[in-house]
Structure 1
C-alpha cells in the first residue's frame, strides 16, 4: 500500500502547483479566463495579457520554461534567492519578491520566493506559493475586477504581500507595548530578553520590506514600452504602501532603542541608589569603628576600663553618634 503513488490535491492541480502550471488570459478590462496549458495557445486581446503560473520545483514546468525562455533565463526564474530585486533586460523585466507564508508568526515569517518574468503581453510566475489563491482569483472571476495590465498585476502582488505583513508588524508593536509595561512594573529581566528578541525580529522585517519597496520603485522608473502612465501610478501606490510599512518598522526600531536606553538609565539609577546606601553606611560606621578600635587597644590607661557600666555607656554614645551622623546627612539632603 505504501508504494502506491499519492495523487496531488485537486486544488494544487487547479492552481498550477503540479505539472506544467496554469494559464490565465486577462482581457485588459477586468475580465479573466482560465485555459488548459496543454491546449492550443489562446488568443490574447489587444489590450490584454496572459499569465502563466507554475511551481518552481516542478520538473514539467522547468522543461517548459527552458523551451520558452532558454536555459539561462529559465534558471534565473527557478534559482533560489534571498533578497527581492528587479532586473531589466531590453524590454523585459525579471522581478523577485519575497512573501510571508500564511499563518506566519513575527519571529518565524517563513518567506516564500516569488519570481516574475514580465514582457509585453505575457507574465510568467515561478513560485512554490499558491499564487492564484494568494491573489484571490475567485473574487476576480466573480467581480470582473482582475488586473488590466502586467504592471497592475505586479502592484497587486505587492499589495497582497503587504497585507500579510501588516498584522505581523502590529503584533511587533503590541510586543513592544508589553515590554514597556514590564519596565513600568520593574520586571527588567523579562523585558531585557524580550527586547533583544524583538530587535532581531525588526531587523529581519526591514530586510524583507525595504528591498520590496526598491523593486517596485525600480520597475516604475524603468523605460518599459508597454507600461502606461496609469501602470506607473499603480506601481507607485504599491511602493508607497511598502514605504509606509518601512517607516513604521523604523519607528518601532527607534522606540526599541529608547526602551533600551530607558533600561540602561533604570539600571544606572538602581546602581546609584545602591552605591548611595553603601556610602552612607560607610560614613556612619567609620567614626564608630575608629572609636571602638581606640577603646579596644590592649594598653593601660584606657578611659572607663575599670567602670562596671562602661560598655553600656560607650554603646549608648555610639548609637547617639550614629543617629547624629544620619541626621546631619539628611539635613544636607544626602539621604
Structure 2
C-alpha cells in the first residue's frame, strides 16, 4: 500500500505527508493518491468534505467508468492497464478520482501502469491544477491502450494469412483468445469514452478550455478504439466460422479419400478372401501361374473401380 501527496504551489512541487495534505487549505493544488485497501490509509479520505456518495464510490470494490458532478466537484472513474497484469480479475484496473478546486483525491486498488508517468509530469511542473491532472490520466491511459488494441487487429491479420496458407491447426485457440481479449477491452473502453465526454461537457472553474481539448482528444481515441474492438470481435467471429467451414471441408476431403481407398480394396478383399478359404476345390490351386493370375485380376479390378470414380468426377475436390 502506498499513500502519497504532492503540492504544487508557486511553480514548485513539494511532497507532503497524507495528513498534512488532507488538512492543507493554502494556495496551490494538492493531489492525494492512495494505492491499496488498507483501512488506516482510506481513513484519510474522511474529513475532507467529500460527499458520502463520492466517498463510497472511491472505495467501492467493483466500479465501472463514469463521471458524475457533485456541486463544485466531479467523480471520475477510469479504467486502464495495470502495472502488474496479474492484478485483479479484470483486464483493466480502475482509478477513481474526486476532483474539485485546489485538490484531487485518487484511489486505485491495484497499481495503475500510467501513475508513475503522470507523477513525473506533475513533478516536472507540467500539471498545475485538477483539470491538468485528470486530462493527463485520460491521455496517458488512452495512449497506452491504443497500441494494445491495434495489436489485436494485427494478430487477426496473421490468422487470416495462416488460413490462406492452409495452416488451420491451433488457430481456433488463437482466434478465441483474441476475441476474448477484445471483449475484455470493450467492456471498459466504451464507458471510458462516455465518462470523458461527460467530463468535457461539465462547467467547472478548475477545468479550462485546454483541459477540455485534451480530454476530448482522449475521448476520441477511446471512441476509435471502441470501433476497432467491435471490428476485431466481428472479424474474429467471422474467422471462427470460416475456420470451422475449412476444417469441415478438410475432413470431408480426407473422408472421401479414405472411402475411395476402402471402396477399391473392398472387391479385392472379397476375391482374396474367397480364394484363400482353406477348403478343397479352389480353382487353379495347383497351377504355377495362378498366383500371378489372381494378382492381375486384382489389379484389373482396382483399376476399373478407380476409372469408374474418375469417370463420375468423384475424385475432384
TM-score bracket for this pair, using the shorter chain length: 0.7 to 0.9
- Does structure 1 residue 74 correspond to structure 2 residue 55? yes
Contact kept? 1:135, 1:156, Cα under 8 Å: no
Structure 1 residues 130 and 237, CA, compared in 2 at 3 Å: closer, same or farther? closer
Structure 1 residues 222 and 315, CA, compared in 2 at 3 Å: closer, same or farther? same
Q: Distance in 2 between matches of 1:245 and 1:232?
A: 20
Equivalences for 1:1-335 in 2 at 5 Å? 17-18=2-3, 21-25=4-8, 31=11, 33-34=13-14, 36=16, 38=20, 41=24, 43-44=26-27, 49-55=29-35, 57-68=37-48, 69=50, 73-102=54-83, 104=85, 111-127=92-108, 129=111, 134-142=116-124, 144-147=125-128, 149-173=129-153, 175-176=155-156, 179-180=159-160, 183=163, 188-222=168-202, 224=204, 227-285=207-265, 308=287, 312-335=292-315
Q: Distance in 1 between matches of 2:140 and 2:285?
A: 95
Q: Deviations over 1:33-90 (max 9, x none)?
A: 3363527735336xxx543333453545433322112555433222222422223334
Structure 1 residues 293 and 125, CA, compared in 2 at 3 Å: closer, same or farther? closer
Query: Could you list the runs of 5+ residues in structure 1 that have no partner in the other structure?
Result: 1-11
TM-aligned CA deviation for residue 158 of structure 1: 1.4
Query: Could you list the runs of 5+ residues in structure 2 that have no partner in the other structure?
Result: none
Q: Distance in 2 between matches of 1:25 and 1:292?
A: 97
Structure 1 residues 199 and 108, CA, compared in 2 at 3 Å: closer, same or farther? farther
Q: Deviations over 1:111-153 (max 9, x none)?
A: 43311112344322223547995344444444x4325x53342
- Secondary structure of 1:67's counterpart equals coil
- Secondary structure of 2:250's counterpart equals helix
Q: Distance in 2 between matches of 1:258 and 1:72?
A: 44
Q: TM-score, normalised by structure 2?
A: 0.75
TM-aligned CA deviation for residue 287 of structure 1: 5.5
State which drifts further: 262-271 or 219-228: 219-228
State which drifts further: 170-179 or 153-162: 170-179
Contact kept? 1:100, 1:109, Cα under 8 Å: no
Count of matched residue positions in the alignment of Structure 1 and Structure 2: 308
TM-aligned CA deviation for residue 161 of structure 1: 1.4
Q: TM-score, normalised by structure 1?
A: 0.71
